[in-house]
Amino acid sequence: MIASSPPKTFILKIKRSLGEGKPSHWESFEVPIRPSMNIISALQYVAANPVTTDGKNVEPVVWDAGCLEEVCGACTMVINGHVRQSCSCLVAENLQDGNTITLEPMSKFPVVRDLWVDRQRMFDNLKKIHGWVPIDGTHDLGAGPTETQEEQEQRYAYSRCMTCGCCLEACPQFTKDNDFKGAQVFAQIEYFNSHATGKELAAERLDVIMEPGGITDCGNSQNCVKVCPKELPLLDAIASLGRKTTVHAVKRFFSGKK
Amino acid sequence: MADHPRVIVVGGGLAGLAATVRVAEAGVPVDLFSMVPVKRSHSVCAQGGINACNTVARQQGYSEWQHMDETLLGGDFLNHQPPVFEMTHWAPKIIDLLDRMGVPFNRTKEGFRDLRLFGGSIFKRTHFAGASTGQQLLYALDEQTRRYEAEGKVNKHEFWEFLWPVIDDNGHCKGIVAQDMRTMEMKALRADAVVMATGGCGMLYGKSTMSVICTGGAASRCYQAGAWLGNPEMIQVHPTAIPGEDKCRLMSESARGEGGRVWVPRKKGDDRKPADIPEDERWYFLEEKYPKYGNLVPRDIATREIFFVCQDGYGISGGNMVYLDITHLPMETKNKLAAILEIYEKFTGDDPRFTPMKIFPAVHYSMGGLYSTYTAVDDARGMVSGAHNNMMTNIPGLYAFGEVNYAYHGATRLGANALLSCIFDGLFCGLSVANYVRDGVAHEQSAGQAPDSLFQKYVDQEQAKVERLIANDGQNNPYEIWREMGEEMIASATVVKTEDRLNQAYTKINELKEQFKSIKLSDTGTWTNQNLSFSRAVGDMLKYAETILAGSIARKESRGSHYRLDYPKRIDDPFHKTTLVKYNAAEDKPEITWEDIPLPLVPLRDRSYGKVEAAAEKDEKKEEATSV
Amino acid sequence: MSATPTAAPPQLSLIERHHFLLRRLHSLSGIVPVGLFVIFHLFTNAQMIWPDAGATFQHEVDFIHSMPALLFIEISLWVGIGFHAALGLVYTFTGQGNVKNYSYSANLRYTLQRITGILALIFIFFHIATLRWRWDFFGWFTPFYGQLKIDGSYGKGVPMSMPLTAYALQYSWIVVLFYVIGVASVVYHWANGLWTAAISWGLTITPKAQQRWGAVCLLLFIALTAFWGAAIYGALAYSYQEMTTDQKIVFMEVIPDGREVLIDHGVEVPSEAEAERRQMEYAASHGGS
């Protein structure tokens, strides 16, 4: 910490638009700094006082938020050019040029309005890869399969994915125009394919990611693992699926079924 | 086809998703409404675990019966016994099911599900998945829901806000009015049953440990539409949370268990940094007032003391915060606490290893909520499986599941029972919903046959409300009203309540209700208008807040989390009763009546403090040292 | 309830249906035919650094030209490069680099891989066009073009690879720069491609394994860089003084102003009469024209 007295206010520069394809513009708001203030509380201040630095009354900024504890993934946005959750982003640690923080919506998903984006593509992809354990039903049929501590630890690491989309936002291979699935989906396939019952659909899941937009399209920039707030072992998932699809392709070729 | 029974589920947390899966499995199509993608529901915030009797505990003398007994004692006997019996006896099956769904429960060396100790029991009965059990359970149910969605049996409406239940001339619920939060499109959807699984109401306290979506708005709207509330005054306050600018995040008590000390500066409003305040100018108020237990006094005492100290102006910088100091502890001890310390550091920017943590009690859970009914089996040991009215509100066809349901937790909820009650509601009572719509006995005309005019009437009503809000050209800022409501509610209806303060708050809330009539929206547009959605919710929060105050005023005793300074004892006669709150639409105010609580299984007994409470506290310490 | 009905499979085109195979072949074609040849080629060129570079390098060049089924090898290389380049170009433009905001080393390598791929393609084209097909670009590649005149006339059998290569590089720093950038791109693209291929094929799964394999690839990169560095150094350090009389005569024959070039470098050149005499002798002994 530098000894000089911290600034009393800072400028929140926000990229705004009325939705996907609509023109966007920047607006700046002056926000008083309070101790351990995060971006969410700054946005709450702006919501209650929607006046720009030019003294113009504007419509309050729209953004997406949920738990504010970095477990729901909702409040993800691009802060100072870098994707992360706005709840766990502290103002004091992220001031640029002395007193500015820029907020932009995630660029890889259609904007709903201002900082709010529609990440439906991520959920749709979970549907495409059959992202569930195919149980017989909810009736009482006894306990599930046992698993070792090691297996549990591996699956637990994957199950912490909160579908925030950081990995996809930072991925140079994932764009609005292509159908690349990205690390989020690959990690979930590893998750489901490593469960005793989830395995039942393993071949179908591998088939899906051998199509265009699948695992082969990964360019190994490895940004995903750097920006993942929950530190999922995304590199392991990607490489492991590389191996499994290779084996699967050979098997599929010689089985003559497909 | 048009007349095929349908069900609407409002809310996509554990209760809503469990209900969706159960109803869809029974072959009834479900429309699922949620303000957020269901995977982001507030259930993700639950950490500790989920309680259920299990093989190991059973062999040590534990049983489902005992789980029920603990739940009833924890709830200070304000909970109905047959539903609690059923829930605790279903708990092991629910764990098995979640296990089959692939929840990564922690494992023992041999590969069985691991267990941890939790408050209110001396047996290990809490199943957990790391420090994010709620998240894992929610995801498992989200996955199963997605499966039914892929099969076309579930239709999700995410980013849709519930506005009002559609109730026909016979008083039966026939659907809902909802609004797309992006396009602002408003529509009525038909259903033969509606399940409200909309969670708690923490937002009306301004800041709580709850998510921003937990406004209680949906519950309030049902209440205004004629649904009764049960025990709304029962609000759980957790003693140690990290107060943030935007919300309060839980701080585990293991910090105190490991030797952390709670203190405030002796001088009111002392603005020095904690390290600059010499030892003799620090007030270790818990150690001073409770020399025997020191910082390890029982949870409710700690909560109340911290609260008093701050009320008296001794909080840090005169605010609502006290220091929880672990800086003096040896490094190995600090490392043992690493996980929780990192959370603190991430959100405050301060490293608690070197700077004392600033903590304060925070509103955590609403035990009360929409009133619900059930059919008990003959000997009261449980509910009749599939009975139409299980967890149905007083409005036929309108159900309440999960936290919004008042049924299971009485006056205080035991840790790790919330996840259980939510999933149990969905799975057990989901069948009741399916039966209700399939049997069609309670409603002579199905939702499909109901006239369009019925639905149009409610859409018009909601549309008019929106137009009124947008056209309003008053001077009051809805955020300001919300802030004032939060401050007033925290000051009057949390840890310690008194008649005078409650009355004062009641007056204040009514003033705010008046002010609300002349608010001005800063966004009057018709596209993704969060300002409108929030302001509308503020109006509904005010009405719900009023019921909390009314219930608190009427209950002139102390029971569980409801502590009246002016009536510090539990008074079973006449208050061993459910607080029933009904909305008086003509006068726009709550009306309170009382309903007896039968005691068919376990008789009333004292919930004694001292010894028992201290022992339970110790158990919790043990658990928390291993969690988070 | 137990069976999961699968939606009707979407109609995929022939190329889409074989997406996985094409991607794997793309990876393979970069490593095996092209990559192996590059190693070999660079090793050969590195011979230019030895003191008797003229002989050693010429020996290697002659060896390559004497290889059986050279045409077959060439065709495989062409197919390999063409396939790899065509798909590579398509794949390159499916992504959008973002090093500016995410300046992690792996991301930098991702972007470099795409840039070097394109540079390598341009380089290889010019390299082959001038040296193999003897295309003449803007005149300043004529030294290579000179090779044309040697075959069948006086000079056949005279080891000219070294002096001509040296002349080409010493002719202009632009040529040197072009070769440095071009070869560095090829080498980087191959070494990094080898690293990512191990991930794509699933050989290196854990980050630790990827790190280890990365070290191996880095060593390969350094070795190959040393090879081409040696070659360029050797060509630049080559002194025309080392040339034999025969080489000088051929040199003057095929390089415009060749005599002046040699004289400028202080080389003692045979007289025109001497040169003519030797050529006559050669023609007589070979029975040519």
Question: For residues C147 and C136, what is the distance between their CA atoms, to the nearest angstrom?
Answer: 12
With an 8 Å Cβ cutoff, is B151 touching chain C?
yes
CATH number, span C20-238: 1.20.1300.10
Asked if A9-117 and A120-255 have one fold, the answer is no
Task: Identify the residue with better confidence: B393 or C58.
Answer: B393
Segment B21-24 long-range contacts (CB within 8 Å, at least 24 positions apart)? B21/A138, B21/B141, B21/B144, B21/B145, B21/B148, B21/B426, B21/B427, B21/B430, B22/A138, B22/B426, B22/B427, B22/B430, B22/B431, B22/B433, B22/B434, B23/B195, B23/B430, B23/B433, B23/B434, B24/B145, B24/B148, B24/B153, B24/B154
Q: How is residue C75 written in tokens?
A: 């065709």
Percent of chain B whose predicted confidence (pLDDT) is above 90: 73
pLDDT at B499 over 50: yes
* DSSP count for chain A of H helices, then E strands: 8, 7
Q: What is the pLDDT of residues B431-453, one digit of tens each?
A: 999 999 998 765 668 888 899 99
Amino acid identity of residue B82, one-letter, is: P
pLDDT at C146 over 70: no
* Exposure string over A92-131, b if 16+ CB within 10 A, otherwise e: bebbeeebebbbbbbbbbebbbbbbbbbebbbebbebbbb
A222, A240, A250, best to mutate vs chain C, most C CBs in 10 Å:
A222
User: What is the per-residue pLDDT for C151?
Assistant: 54
| Strand order across the beta sheet in which A100-104 lies | A24-32, A9-17, A100-104, A76-79, A82-85
pLDDT at B1 over 50: no
Question: For residues A53 and A57, what is the distance between their CA atoms, to the nearest angstrom?
Answer: 10
User: What is the per-residue pLDDT for B504?
Assistant: 97
3-class secondary structure, A21: coil
Preceding peptide of B574 cis, ω within 30°: yes
Task: Identify the residue with better confidence: B304 or C73.
Answer: C73
A9-117 has which fold? Ubiquitin-like (UB roll) (3.10.20)
Tell me the C-alpha to C-alpha distance, in Å, between residue B549 and each of A213, B406, B489, B511.
56, 16, 8, 14
Q: Which residues of C touch A222 (CB under 8 A)?
A: 104, 106-107, 110
Amino acid identity of residue C223, one-letter, is: A
Q: Could you give the count of Cα atoms lying within 13 Å of C100 in the half-sphere of its Cβ?
A: 5
pLDDT at B472 over 60: yes
CA distance C188 to chain A (A): 15
Question: For residues B563 and B560, what is the distance between their CA atoms, to the nearest angstrom?
Answer: 7
User: What is the per-residue pLDDT for B441?
Assistant: 64
Show me where the domains of chain A are located. 9-117, 120-255
Cβ atoms within 10 Å of B429's Cβ, excluding its own: 33
Choosing from B299, B304, B555, B559, which is the catalytic residue? B299
Complex confidence, ipTM: 0.96
Q: Which residues of A touch C201 (CB under 8 A)?
A: 242-243, 246
Lowest mean pLDDT of A203-207, B423-427, B501-505, C77-81, name the range: C77-81
Spatial contact of B326 and B337, defined as CB atoms under 8 Å apart = yes
Lowest mean pLDDT of A63-77, C29-43, C189-203, C224-238, name the range: C29-43
User: What is the per-residue pLDDT for C191?
Assistant: 95
Nearest CA in chain A to C11: A211
Q: Which residues of C touch B150 (CB under 8 A)?
A: 4, 7
Query: In this complex, do C210 and A239 lie within 8 Å of one another by their Cβ atoms?
Result: yes
pLDDT at C136 over 80: no
pLDDT, mean of residues C76-81: 89
Q: What is the pLDDT of residues B608-624, one digit of tens each?
A: 534 333 333 444 444 44
From B293, B216, B230, select the one nearest B262 (Cα to Cα).
B293
With an 8 Å Cβ cutoff, is B150 touching chain C?
yes
- Whether B570 sits among the annotated catalytic residues: the reply is no
Nearest CA in chain A to C192: A220
CA distance B389 to chain A (A): 21
Q: How is residue B332 written in tokens?
A: 């190995």
pLDDT, mean of residues C136-165: 64
CA distance C87 to chain B (A): 34
Place of tokens 């009572």: B429
A120-255 has which fold? Fumarate Reductase Iron-sulfur Protein; Chain B, domain 2 (1.10.1060)
Q: Which residues of C touch A235 (CB under 8 A)?
A: 199, 206-207, 210
Spatial contact of C201 and A243, defined as CB atoms under 8 Å apart = yes
pLDDT, mean of residues C87-107: 94
Q: C residues 88-117 near A, CB within 8 Å?
A: 91, 94-98, 100-102, 104, 106-107, 109-111, 113
3-class secondary structure, B268: coil
With an 8 Å Cβ cutoff, is B100 touching chain C?
no
Query: In this complex, do B151 and C5 lie within 8 Å of one another by their Cβ atoms?
Result: yes
Query: In this complex, do A138 and B427 lie within 8 Å of one another by their Cβ atoms?
Result: yes
Region at A12 (left for phi over 0; alpha for psi -120 to 50; beta for the rest): beta
User: What CA dihedral angle connects B297, B298, B301 and B305, to 10 degrees?
Assistant: 40
With an 8 Å Cβ cutoff, is C213 touching chain A?
no
> What size, in residues, is chain B?
628
User: What is the per-residue pLDDT for C120?
Assistant: 95
User: What is the per-residue pLDDT for B614?
Assistant: 37
* DSSP count for chain B of H helices, then E strands: 19, 21
Q: Which helix (H) or strand (E) holds B434?
A: helix B430-439
pLDDT, mean of residues B259-287: 91
Could you say which of C1, C4, C5 has the minimum Cβ distance to residue B25?
C1
Tell me the C-alpha to C-alpha distance, in Å, between residue C274 and each of A83, C246, C277.
76, 10, 5
Lowest mean pLDDT of B160-174, B298-312, C226-240, name the range: B298-312
pLDDT tens series, chain A, 258 aa: 444 566 789 999 999 999 999 999 999 999 999 877 999 999 999 998 999 999 999 999 999 999 998 999 999 999 999 999 999 999 988 998 879 999 999 999 999 999 999 999 999 999 999 999 999 999 999 999 999 999 999 999 999 999 999 999 999 999 999 999 999 999 999 999 999 999 999 999 999 999 999 999 999 999 999 999 999 999 999 999 999 999 999 998 898 765
CA distance A109 to chain C (A): 14
Nearest CA in chain A to C90: A217
Q: How is residue B54 written in tokens?
A: 């299990």
pLDDT at C53 over 80: no
Query: In this complex, do B150 and C1 lie within 8 Å of one another by their Cβ atoms?
Result: no
pLDDT, mean of residues B57-64: 93
Those residues with Cβ within 8 angstroms of residue C34's Cβ, 6 or more apart along the chain or in another chain: C77, C80, C81, C84, C190
Spatial contact of B192 and B173, defined as CB atoms under 8 Å apart = no
Question: For residues B395 and C240, what is the distance between their CA atoms, to the nearest angstrom?
Answer: 104
Question: For residues B327 and B340, what is the distance between their CA atoms, to the nearest angstrom?
Answer: 14
Question: Which domains does chain B carry?
Answer: 7-234+367-451 (3.50.50.60), 241-363 (3.90.700.10), 455-571 (1.20.58.100)
Query: In this complex, do C95 and A172 lie within 8 Å of one another by their Cβ atoms?
Result: yes
With an 8 Å Cβ cutoff, is C229 touching chain A?
no
Query: In this complex, do C102 and A223 lie within 8 Å of one another by their Cβ atoms?
Result: yes
User: What is the per-residue pLDDT for C130?
Assistant: 78
pLDDT, mean of residues B257-272: 87
pLDDT at B292 over 90: no
User: What is the per-residue pLDDT for B626?
Assistant: 40
pLDDT at B298 over 90: no
Query: In this complex, do C202 and A246 lie within 8 Å of one another by their Cβ atoms?
Result: yes
Mean pLDDT (chain C, rounded): 84
Spatial contact of B197 and B426, defined as CB atoms under 8 Å apart = yes
Spatial contact of B136 and B9, defined as CB atoms under 8 Å apart = no
Q: Which helix (H) or strand (E) holds B378?
A: none
3-class secondary structure, B266: coil
Query: In this complex, do B480 and A137 lie within 8 Å of one another by their Cβ atoms?
Result: no
Nearest CA in chain B to A89: B347
pLDDT, mean of residues B178-189: 97
